[in-house]
Amino acid sequence: MEKLEDQYTAALRDSIAGKGESSLQQAYELGRRALADGLGVLDMAAMYHKALTACLSRHSTPEETELMLRAGASFFAESRSPFEMTHRGFRETNIGLRHLNQTLEQEIKRIAHALHDEAGQLLASVYLALEEVAGNLPPAREHLLKVKGLLDLIEGQLRRLSHELRPTILDDLGLLSALKFLAEGVAARTGLLITVEGDSELSLPPLLSTTLYRIVQEGFTNVTRHAKATQVNVTIQHELQTLRCSVKDNGIGFDVSSLSARIGDRGLGMIGIRERLNSLGGSLSLVSTPGQGTELVITIPHTNSLES
């Protein structure tokens, strides 16, 4: 099979020679093939430049050169059109993910509210009913006290979960305090030893702190589910114009290359995180080796307005 590059040059030559629509259709088909072969827009620009250089003649008059360049521009646009299609698809997907994240935040707020307020009110009714039963059945009072003790635990747990879901502490006291609160809850439930370190003076815009909170939350979930770790260290550092957040565990680790291919299958968590990071210009990386723990590192460009 003739090389893509040679075919591209031959088709461009046809286009410059005035073969019109058939050469433009060919440009489109070649662009489609290039896309399927994994070439990028810069590769296409380089291929075009090379082909055009090969086609231009030194003996052309300025008028001829102008006509050639005009034909070449149409050819170039046609061969880039499949990339435009995929680009639009990517943009659409990203917008969809953003909406999904916004819906998710609203849903989290709703669930947090239901846990805190609605379940709380129901529990209050149960307390009243228990009091009534205790009044009517004095011998049962001791048993009922035990039940009340359990209900107290449930109420505490529900309140904590609702605060973890959408922590008002994030808005009031900032990211570090919110993460410490989250870590306490996760540690209490899982037995993990968790430390959270960072600059307590760090002041971040709400979108940034919510994003980092959600990422660390997802990180804790992954450690709990997969890592078999005993210890997790979270650090947040502001270095020059970058915010760096690391969630590091001492668990079993894994082969990163085998996970990356399946990242789309790992539920909404990671996909959602990627979109949140994309919209902030941030990036995420996983560093792990089997047997040597895992580190999730997030970097987001950020200039602290106090420092700038």
Partner 1 sequence: MASEAVIPITTDIDVVAARQKGRELATVLGFVSTDSTLLATAISELARNIIRYARYGEILISSVQSGERVGITVVARDKGPGIANISLAMQDGFSTSGGLGLGLPGVKRMMDEFHLVSDANRTSTACLWQWSTGWGMANRRLRQPILLSPH
Residues that bind partner 1 (CB under 8 A): 20-22, 24-25, 28-29, 32, 35-36, 74, 77-78, 81-82, 84-86, 88-90, 92
The CB density around residue 245, as the number of other CB atoms within 10 Å, is 23
**Pairwise CA distance, residues 296 & 303, whole Å:** 22
- Shorter beta-carbon distance to partner 1: residue 23 or 250: 23
* Closest CB 82 distance from partner 1, rounded Å: 6
* Closest CB 158 distance from partner 1, rounded Å: 40
The residue with tokens 């969630």 is: 247
- Shorter beta-carbon distance to partner 1: residue 23 or 246: 23
* Closest CB 88 distance from partner 1, rounded Å: 4
- Shorter beta-carbon distance to partner 1: residue 79 or 101: 79
286, two tokens:
């996983």
- Shorter beta-carbon distance to partner 1: residue 76 or 220: 76
The DSSP result for 104-141, as a single string, is HHHHHHHHHHIIIIIHHHHHHHHHHHHHHHHHH-GGGH
**Pairwise CA distance, residues 160 & 138, whole Å:** 33
* Closest CB 230 distance from partner 1, rounded Å: 41
- Shorter beta-carbon distance to partner 1: residue 78 or 218: 78
* Closest CB 89 distance from partner 1, rounded Å: 3
Contacts of 209 (CB under 8 A, 6+ apart): 170, 174, 175, 178
* Closest CB 91 distance from partner 1, rounded Å: 9
Phi-psi region of 252 (alpha: psi -120 to 50; beta: other; left: phi over 0): alpha
Closest CA relative to residue 235, chosen from 141, 298, 150, 142? 298
**Pairwise CA distance, residues 163 & 105, whole Å:** 14
* Closest CB 36 distance from partner 1, rounded Å: 7
The CB density around residue 49, as the number of other CB atoms within 10 Å, is 11
**Pairwise CA distance, residues 144 & 151, whole Å:** 10
